[in-house]
Amino acid sequence: MQTGEQSLSLAKLQFFGRMEGYSLEALRKDIIAGIIVGVVAIPLALAFAIASGVKPEYGIYTSIIAGTLVGIFGGSRVQIAGPTGAFVPVLLSIVMLYGFENLLLAGMLSGIILVLMGITRMGTLIKFIPRPVTVGFTAGIAVIIFTGQIETFLGLQGVVKHEYFLQNTSELIKHMHTIQMPSIIISMVCLFFLLFTQRYFPSIPGPLVALLASTLVAIFFFNGTVDTIGSKFGAIPATLPEFHLPNLNLDAVFNMLGPAFTIAMLGSIESLLSCMVADEMIGSKHDSNKELIGQGIANVITPLFGGIAATGAIARTATNVRSGGTSPVSAVVHSLTVLILILALAPMVSQIPLASMAPILMVVAWNMSGLNEIKHLLRTTRSDATVLFTTFTLTVFINLTIAVGFGLLLAVALFINRMSDTMSVQKVLPDHNDKEKVTSKMVSPIHDCPQVGIFTINGALFFGAVETFEKTLTNCLSAKPRVLILRMGNVFVMDATAEVVLEHIVDHFQKQNGIILVSGLKSQPERVLRNSGSYAKIGKEHFFGGTGQAITYALTKIHPEKCIGCKHNAFYECSKLADEKSWLNIPQAAVH
């Protein structure tokens, strides 16, 4: 009986296999890490919610509920989830265009999409999004967040929020004459303590210290003259969130599918990036698909309690690891810490000046911008720099959905162009100075074989590169050689377009009584040719492991009488073949 109870307790502790070998010492570390991250999460949750255009307590609810659910159901042992800066411009735009109720609906739908992505194992595909795209849209989001806080930092009055960056910038310029000095002072105090703490006392939660210091300055020097969370949004409720089912009519669901997809894509990218950062820090490996399912579950349930979209938070996850977090227990403790503190300190939180939120988000935006990575990518290739700049520009001036979509298309187009440039088709002949090689340098108008054409194909044979392949071989066929040898040892990939082109070449060549031989064929191209029927059309006996074998066979299929008197001397055997008396005695070719 006791053994059964122990097994049950162990099963409960293991959180789906991520807590093997768990100990009391690990529990102690998780509790300490969870408390630290929970303290750090409160000011960030408040700031992200306000910046997203919703009440501050909704950010708190998100940290509590999503933090727990992702910790339990996610694919990383140390992931901390909650509201993040990456969602700010997306959620703000949805609130402005569709309202808060539809924001909750979009969050639920994004959760369903994330679960489906995880079930269909799309987690591995997300990793293949080009780095210039992710860096570009992250930097663009950082610019939007930073500029979006200028109004609060300066205390500008009468500023109206718009959907697009240029409109918001125009609003700021138009209202610059309404600057409020108390807001600037409070913002500067907050910024000073935030930077000072991070630099000299990194183990102390900087945002919390900065909020306390700036709030005290506001109370003692500017009480009643600056906007606070309480005066702007009402008192923070010292109660648990209530269950609320968003509007689920079909029209609303249909309208929110686009925004939901944007939230899901951004959330998946952000969470998996956070997981990879955590993997590097703890030397572990996360489960991408399980992480997407965990994120999906969290985003389905969190809106039912007023929470906004959540994803893995890189900064909070890193803080968790640095503080000693080792398992999902730290994520649960983090959520409990946020819950306990907000219930106990709700009246104090209501007194936080809004001007204190701006510097916190500005620092978050600065850290998001990834300037060092941008500099690095700009030094790599021109195409990567183009993708980065394009994604960044579209994110800032249009919207994230178009930016990511166009960035991906541009990255794919440039990649195809680069891959097509790497594909080459060269006519070659044996090198008389090195019997083990063939080279294009040996081919010349006076040194060639009219009956046997040998071509080396290098690179991927796919739709972006078939033009060169087709043009080169078609030109060769116009000379009507007897045998065509395709050296495909350096072709590791072939797609359907290339296969169709090759099939047309085979048909055309066989109609003029030519023979096609293939040497060194790799497994993937062979599978494509077998499935399409081209392998059988070419003939099983016409495939060889090495070039030498193919040449030996080719010399048995040529018209020997045409070799008599030939001066090209393309092969070692040519001197004998040119002799009318010895053309029947063909020795083994030396090329391999």
For the stretch 389-415, pLDDT in tens is 999 999 999 888 889 889 999 988 888
The answer to whether residues 313 and 84 touch, using CB atoms and an 8 Å cutoff, is yes
Is the pLDDT reported for residue 172 higher than 60? yes
List residues bridging with 228 in a β-sheet.
Answer: 353
Q: Hey, CA dihedral for 555, 558, 560, 563, is it positive or negative?
A: negative
User: CB–CB of 519/489 below 8 Å?
Assistant: yes
* CA separation for the pair 522, 490 (Å, rounded): 8
C-alpha span between 211 and 201 (Å, rounded):
16
Counting Cα atoms < 13 Å in the Cβ hemisphere of 443 gives 14
- More confident position, 388 or 19: 388
Query: How far is 140 from 399, CA to CA, in rounded Å?
Result: 10
DSSP 364-397: HHHHHH-HHHHHHHHTT-HHHHHHHHHHHHHHHH
Q: What is the model's pLDDT at position 436?
A: 63
Who has greater pLDDT, 211 or 563?
211
Residue 427 near residue 443 (C-beta atoms within 8 A): yes
What share of the chain in percent tops pLDDT 70? 92
pLDDT for 242 equals 86
- Asked which of 124-133, 301-310, 570-579 is least confident by mean pLDDT, the reply is 570-579
Distance in angstroms (rounded) separating the CA atoms of residues 45 and 90: 16
Kindly tell me if the per-residue pLDDT of 586 is higher than 50.
Answer: no
Q: In what order do the strands lie in the sheet with 483-490?
A: 434-439, 424-431, 452-458, 483-490, 515-519, 543-544
- Residues in contact with 267: Cβ distance below 8 Å, sequence separation at least 6, in sequence order: 87, 110, 114, 295, 299, 309, 310, 311
Q: What whole-number distance in Å separates Cα of residue 133 and Cα of residue 387?
A: 6
d(CA 459, CA 111): 41
Contact (Cβ atoms closer than 8 angstroms) between residue 63 and residue 83: yes
Q: Which residues contact 486 (CB under 8 A, 6 or more apart)?
A: 455, 457, 516, 517, 518, 519
- Across the chain, mean pLDDT equals 87
Could you report the per-residue pLDDT of 33-73, keeping only the tens digit for each?
999 999 989 999 999 999 999 999 999 999 999 999 999 99
User: Which H or E run contains 429?
Assistant: strand 424-431
Which tokens go with 437?
A: 């090689």
Longest dimension (CA), the chain: 114
Whole-angstrom Cα distance, residue 515 to residue 484? 6
> Is the distance from CB of 80 to CB of 312 less than 8 angstroms?
yes
Output phi, psi for 543, to 5 deg: -110, 135
Q: Please state the rounded mean pLDDT for residues 295-315.
A: 94
- Give 489-537 as a DSSP string: EE---B-HHHHHHHHHHHHHHHHTT-EEEEES--HHHHHHHHHHTHHHH
* Residue at token pair 């809106």: 303
Confidence class for position 225, pLDDT limits 50, 70, 90: confident
Give the model's confidence band at 17: pLDDT under 50 very low, under 70 low, under 90 confident, else very high: low
The CA distance from 155 to 51, in Å, is: 15
- What residues are paired with 494 via a beta bridge? 461
Full set of structural domains in the chain with CATH: 2-411 (no CATH), 423-577 (3.30.750.24)
**CA dihedral in degrees (548, 549, 551, 555; nearest 10)?**
140
| pLDDT tens for each residue of 473-503 | 888 878 888 999 999 999 999 999 999 999 9
Predicted local confidence at residue 9, as pLDDT: 46
Beta strands 515-519 and 543-544 are parallel
* Per-residue pLDDT at 379: 87
